[in-house]
A and B are shown apart, each in its own frame.
Chain A
C-alpha cells in the first residue's frame, strides 16, 4: 500500500472518567511518540478499553485533553478523528464482501472509484489476502478475519491506529504468528499505534514501550527490558514475569530481612518497609560463604515442580516467606538438587535484588 503520511505523536493529559460514583480512569497522562508501538497492559477491568474508546471518541471523558500531532481532538466526533481502530471481535460487516469491507472507509471519504480499487488491492496484498476480495466474511478463518480488520483499519491512512486485544480470539499458534506479522507490519509502515492486551508475553514481544495499567491508572511505563529488569511497584513486578517478594526493613539505607543484612544496587531511601523482588531464574543454590555483592539466605528446600524444559522449586526462608527458584532441567543440575526438607543456602546477586514499595 502507499506509504502513510508522516506519523504523528499523541499527547494525553488528565483524562478522567467516572461511571456514577466509580472512578474508571484517574487523571491519566500518556505520551506516545510518532511512529511508536505502545502497549497498554493490564488485568481485565483496569480501564484499557475505556481509554481506547475515549481516544476513538465513543466515550466522553469527564475531563482531559487529547492531542494528535498538536490538534486537540477531544470534542471531535468519531468519524472526524481519522483513527484506525481494530476491535476485539473484528466488527467486520457480514453483509459485505472482503473488498467491500476494506473499501468502506474509502467510500465514506468519497475517494474516486478507480483509486478505491487500487488501494483495496494493495491493502489486500499488504495483509497477504490477494484473491480473497470477493469472499464473504463468514467464509474466512479467524486469522484471515483478523487481517481483513487490519487492512480496513489502515487502508485510509489514519493518523493513528488503535487495537483492542485483536489477537485474543485466535488460538495460541496463530496468535504468536500474528504477533510477529503485526510487528513487521508496524515496522514497515511506521504508524503510531496503541495496542491493548492483558497478555504480558504478547506485550513484551511486540512493543516499543509498555504502559502497565492497574485500577484506572498507569503504574509504570517503560521499554519491555527495563520493565522486566526494574519494576517499580509490587503490581508491576508480579504482573510482568514471575517474582518472589521478601519483606525488608530499611535502616540507614540498608535493607534487613530478619537478622540478615542484604545488599542491593537499587537506590534505597534511608528508612521504611519495602519488598525485595527477586526473579526465579536469578535465585541460585549457594556454594560456601558469600562474596561481596552476593546475598546469601538460609532456607529449607520445598517441593519441586517439573515443567518439561525447566523446573521450579519453592524455598522457605523463614517467617513464611517463600522464594521460587527456576532452572533448566540439565542432568548435572538435577543430580545436585537437594532433597525436600534439606537445609540449604541460596544466593541472589545484589544487582538482581529489586526494591519495590510494599503494599
Chain B
C-alpha cells in the first residue's frame, strides 16, 4: 500500500508508456515471427498467413547441394573471421587502453571508422581493390573484408572490458616475476574473458550475417549463404529462405544464450 503511495506516477497514468513499449516490442519481434511462421508453409511461395502447413522447405534446404555449400562457405568464413578479428581487435584494444601510445586515440578512431562509413561504399571499394589484387571470389578476400567489418565491434567490446579492469593487477603480476605475456595470460585475460567471448560472438555474427560486401566480392563457389539468399529472393520467391532464416534465428538465439549463461555463472562466482 505504502509502495503505491511512494510512486510519483500511478500505473494508470503511465498506461501510454506501456502501450508505447509494447508497440516497439511488436515491431522488433513481428518480422521474425512472420518469417518463422511462413517457413512452415505448405504452399510454394512466400505467403502470410500460410494456407497449409509442411516441413518440406526444411527438407529442401538440407537436401540442396547448393544451399549446403553456401552454408559451408559462410561457416568457414565466419569462423576464420572470428579467429583473426578477435585476437587482432583484442590486441588493439589493449594497446589503446595503455594510454602510453602517443597516437592511441587516432589509432582508435581509424580502427572504429568502418562503423560510420556506409557499407555499400565499403563494398564498392573492396570490389575495386580486390579486382586489382585478384581477391574477388576468394576465401581470403572474404575473411579480410569481414575482419575489417568486425574489428570495430571487437575493439569496442574488449575496450569496455579493459576499462573496468584494474591495470595495477597486471603490474602487480609483473613485479611478482611474471613476464608481460604471462601476466596478460594468467591475470588479465581470465578477467576480461567475458568481453573477449562477447567480442568473438559479435565477430562471428557480423561475418555470418553480412550481405553487402559479400554481394560485391563473393560469387560462384564462394557464394556465402546470405548472398545466395539475397539472389534467390530475387529469382524464385520460395519459402526455403524462410526455413533458412529460421535456422539462423535459432543459431543466434543459441549463441546469445550461451554467452548469457557463461556471463551469469561468472558473475555469480565473483
Interface residues of A (CB under 8 A from B): 56-58, 77-79, 81-85, 87-89, 91-95, 104-105, 108-109, 136, 138, 152-153, 156
Contacts and interface: CB of A to CB of B under 8 A. Distances in A.
A93 B174 CA distance: 13
Contacts of B270: 94-95, 136, 138
Contacts of B172: 85, 87, 91-93
A42 B224 CA distance: 65
Given A87-B168, A89-B166, A89-B168, A105 B176 contact: yes
B138 interface: no
Interface string B157-193: 0000000001011011111111110110011001100
A108 B168 CA distance: 18
30 contacts: A56-B175, A57-B174, A57-B175, A58-B171, A58-B174, A58-B175, A77-B180, A78-B171, A78-B174, A79-B174, A79-B180, A79-B183, A83-B175, A85-B175, A87-B168, A88-B168, A89-B168, A91-B169, A92-B172, A95-B191, A104-B173, A104-B178, A104-B186, A108-B176, A108-B177, A108-B182, A109-B177, A136-B270, A138-B270, A156-B177
Interface string B186-202: 11001100000000000
Given A78-B171, A89-B168, A94 B178 contact: no
Interface residues of B, number: 20
A81 B176 CA distance: 9
A326 B176 CA distance: 48
A58 B173 CA distance: 12
A103 to B, nearest CB: 10
A82 B179 CA distance: 12
Given A94-B191, A94-B270, A79 B179 contact: yes
Nearest to B167: A91
A104 B191 contact: no
A209 to B, nearest CB: 24
Nearest to B193: A95
B169 A93 contact: yes
Interface of B: 166, 168-169, 171-180, 182-183, 186-187, 190-191, 270
A96 B179 CA distance: 18
A125 to B, nearest CB: 20
B167 to A, nearest CB: 9
A305 to B, nearest CB: 41
Contacts of A84: 175-176
Contacts of B179: 79
B192 to A, nearest CB: 11
B176 A87 contact: no
Nearest to B172: A91
Contacts of A109: 177
A65 B178 CA distance: 24
Contacts of B178: 79, 104, 108
A56 B182 CA distance: 18
A113 to B, nearest CB: 17
A84 B176 CA distance: 7
A42 B235 CA distance: 77
A88 B167 CA distance: 13
B177 to A, nearest CB: 4
B157 to A, nearest CB: 20
A34 B242 CA distance: 78
A136 B269 CA distance: 10
A93 B190 CA distance: 10
Contacts of B186: 104
Given A79-B180, A93-B172, A94-B270, 13 more contacts: A56-B171, A57-B174, A78-B175, A79-B175, A79-B176, A79-B183, A81-B175, A92-B169, A95-B191, A104-B173, A108-B182, A136-B270, A156-B177
